[in-house]
Structure 1
């Protein structure tokens, strides 16, 4: 599975390219650098939206291919703003 990230401008300029990329995996669309939307094929959407599929079941599927990196703890810890 390929994950693609496009800015909203790139998405607007090449919608057909975004659809082709969605056939290979999710397409994250960003607005001002933050993900705001995800483009999926209808098959992927239907598979993910099934209420009776748990995360464990989704990961156990034969075609499951997930890249996942845990964030470093330093990026999660922020000093308190006491002002």
Structure 2
């Protein structure tokens, strides 16, 4: 984990991008964390995007249970054409 001041970030964005490859880069503003720089891969992983159901099931150790409830009665109904 790397922490940079806003000034350091503005002066050397290349360093910040290189550091982000190793983990999140926290950017402070007046000594307080204000922003986080992540690689797109880390962002998508955290946001849950970019992963299909097949990808999720193919992950090592993936263990999902799915038991849909039974439908009682007819599953269709007559169309209302009025």
Q: Please indicate the TM-score interval, normalised by the length of the shorter structure.
A: 0.5 to 0.7
Alignment partner for residue 22 of structure 2, among 14, 17, 24? Answer: 24
**After TM superposition, which residue ranges in structure 1, 4 or more long, deviate above 6 angstroms?**
none
Show the 5 A alignment for 1:3-82: 3-50=1-48
Q: Which is greater in Rg?
A: 2
Segments of 5+ residues of structure 2 without an aligned counterpart are: 50-58, 61-82
- Considering Cα pairs closer than 8 Å and 6+ residues apart, tell me whether 1 or 2 has the greater RCO: 1
What RMSD, in angstroms, separates the aligned Cα atoms of the two structures?
1.8
TM-score (norm 2): 0.59
Cα distance per residue 1:33-76 (max 9 Å; x no partner): 0000000000000000017xxxxxxxxx98xxxxxxxxxxxxxx
TM-score (norm 1): 0.58
Larger helix fraction of residues: 1
